[in-house]
Amino acid sequence: MTASPRSFPALTCGAPDEMMEINEKGVVDSVFAPPSAPALTVGELRRAIAEGKRIGLDSTVQQVALQTKFSVPAACIVFATVAPIFAIVFARTGGFAGVLLSIFLVMLYYNAFIVSTEIFGRNGWLNPILAGWLPNVIFAFLGLFALRRLE
């Protein structure tokens, strides 16, 4: 048995033929807000940064988002070069330790990325370029340090 649309009781605030007036001011900008910085393309971000600089607005959020558009794919290269080094360092500990270490390193990278971009970068505590690329640099140095210890 399927329920018809009239099977539920109607919710009314008075008599059905009374007009109801809502005195709430609608703001069109809240409905049609521009997309957030991470959702924009590289070209749109560059235009937004240039426009913000032209009219004197703070474009730190857009600058950090632009840098993360390039630093996140570069993180794959960093992990691809660092992972074999750590695999060799922890080869004798067994397969489970390698899986556990990889999960730990990815979580550590993600936390470093969030702190760097969302806290340091967006608040202006770091240069947007440095905020976007700092986790990659840190993990590359960790890989080089581990490689040096291998020799």
Per-residue pLDDT of 79-136, as tens digits, reads 998 888 888 877 777 778 878 888 898 899 999 999 999 999 999 999 999 999 999 9
Looking at the predicted structure, is the pLDDT value of residue 63 above 90?
yes
pTM to 2 decimal places: 0.69
Confidence of residue 7 (pLDDT cuts 50, 70, 90): very low
What is the per-residue DSSP string for 3-65? PPGGGSPPP-SS-TTS---------HHHHSPPPPGGGS-HHHHHHHHHHHHHHT---HHHHHH
Residue 44, pLDDT score:
92
Residue 119: partners with Cβ closer than 8 Å, 6 or more residues away? 125
Of 149 and 62, the one with more pLDDT: 62
Which helix (DSSP H) or strand (DSSP E) does residue 141 occupy?
Answer: helix 128-150
